[in-house]
């Protein structure tokens, strides 16, 4: 099945999960799983949140990211992937002051 993000309307969400600025996303949702391509401009972030019923994988397409993960911190660049297992917490922050952060994320529902 082809998912063409360029044909999905972009949604702009202010302060997503309590983060700073706006999260721009194009998402496919089949009622169970969410597949997204997103962008965080400099100064923007997705707030710290817990994945109680699912996990999330975030693959960095371009830019520099900082992830707060449980009690730690990770820095990622293009080609790297952050994984937040079920029951863990994280946030995603654009670590650049000049470049957008683009990423691909998958949130599969789990039982």
Q: Parse the chain into domains and list their residue ranges.
A: 40-72+86-98
Residues 84 and 68: their CA atoms lie apart, in Å, by 10
Q: What is the pLDDT of residues 1-42, one digit of tens each?
A: 999 999 999 999 999 999 999 999 999 999 999 999 999 999
The CB-based long-range contact list for 76-82 (8 Å cut-off, 24+ gap) reads 81/57, 82/57, 82/58
* Measured distance CA(41)–CA(50) in Å, rounded: 23
Q: pTM for the full model?
A: 0.95
């Amino acid at each position: 099945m082809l998912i063409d993000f360029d044909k999905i309307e972009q949604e702009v969400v202010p302060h997503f999960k309590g983060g700073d600025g706006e999260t721009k996303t194009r998402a496919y949702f089949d009622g169970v799983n969410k597949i997204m391509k997103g962008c965080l401009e400099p100064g923007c972030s997705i707030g710290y949140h817990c994945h109680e019923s699912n996990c999330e994988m975030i693959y960095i397409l371009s830019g520099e990211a900082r992830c707060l993960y449980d009690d730690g911190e990770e820095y990622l660049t293009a080609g790297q992937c952050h994984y937040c297992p079920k029951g863990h917490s994280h946030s995603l922050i654009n670590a650049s002051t000049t470049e957008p952060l683009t990423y691909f994320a998958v949130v599969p529902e789990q039982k």
